[in-house]
Amino acid sequence: MRSAVGGGAVGRALATAWTADRGGVLRAFLLQVLGASSALGVVLASKLAIDGLVSDEGGVPRLLVVALALLAVTTALASSISVFQQQQQRLLGEKVGQYIWRRLLRACVAVDLVTWESPAFADRLERVRSNALQRPTTVVGALMGLAGSAVGIVGMVAVLLAIEPLLIPVLIAAGVPSVLFSRIASRAEFRFASGVNAGLRRRIYLKQLMTGRPFAAEIRAFDAGPHLVGRHDAEDVAYLGALESHVRFRQRVGVLSTLASAVALAVALLLIVLLLDRGRLSLAEAGAAAIAARLLGGQLSAVFTAVGTLVESGPFLRDLEDFLAGLPQDSSRGRRGPLRDALSVRGVSFTYGSRDTPAVKDVDLDLAPGQVVAVVGENGSGKTTLAKIVAGLYAADTGTVLWDGEELAREDLRARVSAVFQDFVRYQLSAADNVAIADTAAPHDRARVERAAIGAGIDAALGALPRGYDTHLGLELSEGSDLSGGQWQRVALARALYRDASVIVLDEPTAALDPRAEHELFSDVRRMLEGRAALLISHRWSSVRLADHIYVMDAGRVIEHGTHDELLARQGRYAELYTLQAAAYLD
């Protein structure tokens, strides 16, 4: 049976359901057994009723009255149990679903950024999300059906054994084709799901583009809507084509397997008629046997449908388990500690998995407490990648990041650095939560939130919102208040300041600010940083020139470094870029 159901799909599904909700599994199982027993009661009551009908007793036979009463009771019991069963399964399905989602989400937030960013991971995650996660409820239903039917079958077989053992092998044989057909169907299903996955992801993305708030203005400005709708339609057509041929295949397999079962039931009923004709069965026995055969047929086909569902779900559940097994099970929070002496980057190189050339090559850089160190360079020169290495988000391929001379575990480095990137998140949460999310290890501290907001120059604006710091920001989830681009950027900056870290990485922190706002923020940058060391990536010379030390990057390497004055005097790349920008203003 194990191999027939796809390498232990039953065991896997049962283990999952059992871990998620023991009590629920037991209750559902008990209901199934009760349901199956009441079906047996129906068979016995029917036999009694026929016996009563054909008895010689005058008037209304007593046996008939008892039998009919029993029939009414067992039938009522069977149907009320089935209502209970359905609701119980619904609850169990939800619990199993929650259990699997909990595991998946824990693993997702714990997974390393490099892995997360790889297309292979995105593909796999989407496949698991769109296929495997819908399965638990189906699987739980199938499991419970299987348990109840198994009990029912044992009972029916016992009844049939007493009446006519010959019927048993015929009815059992009837189920074999449907197991075989399920196996074919399940493989086809998995192949289909894997084949359409990439297209489905594109379709989801296009839907987001056309329905998501952040894209609305640009899409209208470029009149790109109809083009995007066209692309989406093409994905629809491709998916529908694949689905149509898959569905036709599944229909053919389904019809064949149902036909095989129907033929077997017909053979069994014919056999009963024959045995009645030969006098081997009494009328009451034949009646009960026919009902038992019908019910057994039903139970068997329920078992085979359940096994079919489990077989079909097997590859998806295995996919989910394999995926989860390859991921970390919990995020580990690193150990914090102050920077006393210096953070030093030594000989660091990093190449993205999908690239041949390194994004960062042999970089040395030093950062001391209270210092502002800027990194400048043209687009694609490796600044953000370097910042992510310093923040402990990427592991350098070669070279090290030293914290007071010591090489830290990456989660410890992450715990000690605060970072805000160009594509910072606009959390659809309250203003206070938007800041405090940077340090959830500590209890939410409103005074600290306000201090960070003052540092980032956004305190007054947040305080003036309809519900102050408790105002929900963003309009995607509820009626809230939206902020301007520059205000959002200050909120992100406040977030970086809120985190209890002695190094802060600021990747283009002022890109959305107007020159006056930037000047106000950066003229007093050291007060804002309160003694922290800052690694600043910026294209804005007004803030870069205030830095204590400036590194100039080109094609992943540091090509020169020094103070603003030293670099200008060198007449190198920095001077060239600076003059270019200055000239643009002066001309």
538 near ligand ADP, judged by CB under 6 A: no
Nearer to ligand ADP, 115 or 331 (CB): 115
Q: Which of 383, 416, 532, 564 binds ligand ADP (CB under 6 A)?
A: 383
Of 326 and 380, the one with the shorter C-beta distance to ligand ADP is 380
H or E element in which residue 554 lies: strand 549-554
User: DSSP class of residue 335?
Assistant: P
Q: Among 12-20, 70-78, 137-145, 351-359, which window interacts with ligand ADP (CB under 6 A)?
A: 351-359
Size of the site for ligand ADP (CB under 6 A): 13
The one segment of 70-78, 80-88, 122-130, 348-356 that binds ligand ADP by CB under 6 A: 348-356
Residue 506 interacting with ligand ADP (CB under 6 A): no
Q: Are 430 and 472 in contact (CB under 8 A)?
A: yes
Tell the residue number behind the tokens 């007054």, with chain if given: 460
> Helices then strands (H, E): number in the chain?
22, 10
Degrees (nearest 5) of the Cα angle 114, 535, 524? Answer: 145
For residue 491, the minimal CB distance to ligand ADP (Å) is 22
Q: Is 352 in the site for ligand ADP (CB under 6 A)?
A: yes
> Facing residues of 465 across strands?
none
Phi, psi of 217 (to 5 degrees): -65, -50
Q: Closest separation between CB of residue 375 and ligand ADP, Å? A: 8
Could you tell me what percentage of the chain is helix, strand and coil, using 3-state DSSP and rounding each to the nearest 5? 65, 10, 25
- Is residue 474 within 8 Å of residue 428, measured between CB atoms? yes
| The only residue of 57, 117, 476, 576 in contact with ligand ADP, by rule CB under 6 A | 117
Strands (E), 117-185: none
Closest CB 572 distance from ligand ADP, rounded Å: 18
Give the x/- contact pattern for ligand ADP in 313-332, rule: CB under 6 A: --------------------
Q: For the residues of 275-297, what is the DSSP string, one character each?
A: HHHTTSS-HHHHHHHHHHHHHHH
Spatial contact of 337 and 405, defined as CB atoms under 8 Å apart? no
Closest C-alpha to 236, from 270, 204, 193: 204
**Of 359 and 391, which has the nearer Cβ to ligand ADP?**
359
Q: How far apart are CA 194 and CA 199, in angstroms?
A: 10
Q: Report in angstroms how near the CB of residue 184 gets to ligand ADP at its nearest.
A: 41
Q: Does 382 bind ligand ADP (CB under 6 A)?
A: yes
Contacting range for ligand ADP; rule: CB under 6 A; set: 96-104, 236-244, 373-381, 398-406: 373-381
Contact 508, 543 (CB under 8 A): no
CB of residue 317 vs ligand ADP: minimum separation in angstroms? 31
Which pair of tokens denotes residue 131?
């296929």
Contact between 349 and ligand ADP (CB under 6 A)? no
Please report how close the Cβ of residue 364 comes to ligand ADP at its closest, in angstroms. Answer: 17
Nearer to ligand ADP, 117 or 404 (CB): 117
Minimum CB separation from ligand ADP for residue 544, in Å? 14
Rank residues 16 and 384 by Cβ distance to ligand ADP and give the closer one. Answer: 384
Contact call for residue 380 and ligand ADP (CB under 6 A)? yes
> Between 314 and 377, whose beta carbon lies closer to ligand ADP?
377
- Asked if 359 is part of the footprint of ligand ADP (rule: CB under 6 A), the reply reads yes
| Pairing, β 406-407 against β 360-367 | unpaired
CB of 380 to ligand ADP, least distance (A): 4
Query: Using the rule CB under 6 A, which residue among 178, 299, 371, 385 binds ligand ADP?
Result: 385
Strand partners, 473: 481
Identify the three-state secondary structure at position 400: strand
CA 350 to chain centre: 29
Coil, strand or helix: which one is 503? Answer: strand
Which DSSP state fits 507?
E
Angle CA(532)–CA(538)–CA(540) in degrees, nearest 5? 115
In terms of CB distance, is 42 or 376 closer to ligand ADP?
A: 376
**Binding flag, residue 381, ligand ADP (CB under 6 A):** yes
Q: Using an 8 Å Cβ cutoff, are 284 and 54 in contact?
A: yes
* Piece of 46-54, 312-320, 380-388, 452-460 that binds ligand ADP (CB under 6 A): 380-388
- Contact between 85 and ligand ADP by CB under 6 A: the answer reads no
Strand stretches in 13-148, DSSP E: none
Least CB distance from residue 208 to ligand ADP, whole Å?
Answer: 20
- Quick one: which of 124, 130, 93 has its CA closest to 107? 124
423 binds ligand ADP (CB under 6 A): no
What would the two tokens of residue 237 be?
A: 């057509």
- Smallest distance, ligand ADP to C-beta of residue 389, A: 10
CB of 122 to ligand ADP, least distance (A): 12
Residue number with CB closer to ligand ADP (6 or 382): 382
User: Counting Cβ atoms within 10 Å, is residue 251 exposed (0-12), middle (13-18) or buried (19+)?
Assistant: exposed
DSSP, res 338: -
Rounded to whole angstroms, the Cα distance separating 143 from 17 reads 9
CB of 92 to ligand ADP, least distance (A): 41
CA distance 399 to 401: 7
Distance CA 49, CA 65 (A): 8
Please select the residue that binds ligand ADP; options are 217, 325, 355, 443, rule is CB under 6 A.
355
C-beta of 11 vs 380, nearer to ligand ADP:
380
Least separation in angstroms between CB 132 and ligand ADP = 26
Q: Which stretch binds ligand ADP (CB under 6 A): 168-176, 271-279, 372-380, 489-497?
A: 372-380
Q: Which is nearer to ligand ADP, 164 or 507 (CB)?
A: 507
> 367 pairs with which residues across the strands?
343
Instruction: Select the residue interacting with ligand ADP from 59, 221, 223, 379 (CB under 6 A).
Output: 379
Q: Closest CB to ligand ADP among 230 and 380?
A: 380
544 touching ligand ADP, by CB under 6 A:
no
Q: How far is the CB of 91 from ligand ADP (least distance, A)?
A: 43
Residues contacting 544, CB < 8 A, separation 6+:
374, 376, 536, 538, 550, 564
The residue ranges that bind ligand ADP (CB under 6 A) are: 117, 352, 354-355, 359, 377, 379-385
